[in-house]
């Protein structure tokens, strides 16, 4: 758990991105065209809104996968909300077990270079008219089914606004 009481993977991989993106939206809107590219993972697990912080049956891999689903949900929300307004958003899985500190510390033999993952990210920064895509490296693909569930995304957005201190309705 973070000092704020958030499950660490969710806090770092998702809530921090959620907050930063929302704080940057006015600048993104002023500098059109703008692009948001979120690096997610193919390791994805459905969110459980009754136990978002995984207080029951904690599992680090499940926590990681849930945080990555949340990131993909944020990306799709941004794409839909700003479609046609000059802000596009995509997310991608940059590759499996790339040569990063996280992979090496886990004792996993890298299966690809960090440079190849970076190249996949940079490729999505090239302006075009598409938005809301999920890519597996450079190939259009499909994220976890929950990412495409508008009601689940609405619930996540509502909870996230509160958790990030952006809900001023209370």
| Contact (Cβ atoms closer than 8 angstroms) between residue 110 and residue 98 | yes
Task: Kindly state the DSSP code that residue 88 receives in the 8-state scheme.
Answer: E
Q: 3-class SS at 89?
A: strand
Two structure tokens written together for 24: 């940057």
- 64 catalytic per annotation: yes
Calpha distance 119→90 (Å, rounded): 15
34-39 β-sheet, strand order: 34-39, 87-93, 133-136, 139-141
Catalytic pick among 14, 64, 134, 148 = 64
| Contact (Cβ atoms closer than 8 angstroms) between residue 18 and residue 164 | yes
| Contact (Cβ atoms closer than 8 angstroms) between residue 120 and residue 94 | yes
Q: What residues are annotated to the active site? A: 64
């Amino acid at each position: 758990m973070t000092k704020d009481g958030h499950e660490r993977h969710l806090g770092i991989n998702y809530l921090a991105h959620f907050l930063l993106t929302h704080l940057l939206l006015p600048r993104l809107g002023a500098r059109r065209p703008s692009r948001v590219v979120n690096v997610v993972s193919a390791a994805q697990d459905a969110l459980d809104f009754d136990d978002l912080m995984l207080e029951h049956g904690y599992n680090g891999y499940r926590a990681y996968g849930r945080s990555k689903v949340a990131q993909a949900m944020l990306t799709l929300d941004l794409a839909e909300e700003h479609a046609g307004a000059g802000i596009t958003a995509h997310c991608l899985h940059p590759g499996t077990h790339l040569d990063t500190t996280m992979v090496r510390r886990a004792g996993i033999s890298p299966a690809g270079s960090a440079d190849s993952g970076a190249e996949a990210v940079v490729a999505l920064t090239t302006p075009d008219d598409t938005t809301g895509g999920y890519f597996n490296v450079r190939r259009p693909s499909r994220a976890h089914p929950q990412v495409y569930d508008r009601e689940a995304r609405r619930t996540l957005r509502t909870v996230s606004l509160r958790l990030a201190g952006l809900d001023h309705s209370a």
